[in-house]
Amino acid sequence: MTFSIYLKIMETIKQKFIVTTEEAGQRLDKFLLSKFSSFSRSKIQKLIEKSVTVKPFDSAMLRSGNNAHRLKTGDIVVIKFAGAKPFRLEPNPDLVVPVIFENNDYLIINKPAGMVVHPGEGHLKQDTLANWLVARYPEIRNIGPAFAPPSPKATDGRSKAAVGKPNPLRPGIVHRLDKETSGVMVVAKINEFYEFIREQFDKRKVKKTYLAWVKGEVKLGMGRISKPIKRGKGFKWVVMEQKPSTRSARSGSNVFFPKRSEVEVRVGSKDRVAITNYKVLKRETKKTLLEIKPLTGRMHQIRVHLSSIGHPVLGDTIYGKDNKGPLLLHAWRIQFMDLDGDTKEYEAARPQYF
């Protein structure tokens, strides 16, 4: 079975046309129809109303009506519309990614800070971890949910990981790190392992440990932040604030230790359960080094949680005030089970600036 290695990305397409002498005198709508033969007349008319400009501006256009406006030689017609652009993942052998370990089943890498894991609508560039992967391992294009074999443990014949459309931009990629976050990642080299490790992630059996320098001196030696997360405005995620339990109130901590019922979210709710454990490793003036173990894997979870208790990660320009990069958050260790049933743990060296 094969799948296209192209992915159509929706984006705003902007095109500009300069009216020639031969085209002068044409109505605006007929001029655009000649440029976009696949568009209907009604679609062109709607675009003219909202998304077409003619330069230099002519007040006669208002009197004659936009569609019927007659163009002149040298007029510049600009049109914007939503369209699908094919994007192909290209190998980039110039990228550098440290390899910690590899065998026939999987690969352990230390993702550099500043590297995006794979292209997407917000990053249509050929400078991602995925580009490095297909350059070094061309066969990895065929590793992922569209190719993974059915799981015998799933009631419908396939596990959650294998359900869905193929994504040619994520070859072998099982999990992600934020662009600014450095550290350890596991990448599948065969579909059997992809399915096996994906199921471990789904069941929260993969143990991940992070290191982070945070703003301020954290008072408690260890704690748990248990706050549901929901999508806020723009790119941000926010926590659902709750009243602290009696335990945290007695300790004077601003970290929540809610009862189980307080962190569960109703089916269909947009708020997602999120739990983060932390331990203080080192305190310095106005900053603290934490060892962090998230029990759930929500987007920006660690950053959102630490910011919510008044200790944002240093360098976090999204969730921390007056912060400047680099982001001092590092995926330090990862532990999982391999195909032989053995527990494996790998560690990624911290960046020099950490």
Among all residues, which ones are annotated catalytic?
178
Residue with tokens 């939503």: 82
Calpha distance 246→256 (Å, rounded)? 10
Rounded to whole angstroms, the Cα distance separating 192 from 105 reads 8
β-bridge partners, 17: 77
| SS3 of the chain | CCCCCEEEEEEEEEEEEECCCCCCCCEHHHHHHHHCCCCCHHHHHHHHHHHEEEECCCCHHHHHCCCCCECCCCCEEEEEEEEEEEEECCCCCCCCCCEEEECCCEEEEEECCCCCCCCECCECCCCCHHHHHHHHCHHHHHCCCCCCCCCCCCCCCCCHHHCCCCCCCCCCECCCCCCCCEEEEEEECCHHHHHHHHHHHHCCCCEEEEEEEEECCCCCCEEEEECCEEECCCCCEEECCCCCCHHHHHHCCCCCCCCHHHHCCCCCCCCECCEEEEEEEEEECCEEEEEEEECCCCCCHHHHHHHHCCCCECCCCCCCCCCCCCCCEEEEEEEEECCCCCEEEEECCCCCCC
Q: What is the dihedral of CA 287, 209, 120, 304, to 10 degrees?
A: -40
CA nearest to 316, candidates 308, 183, 297: 308
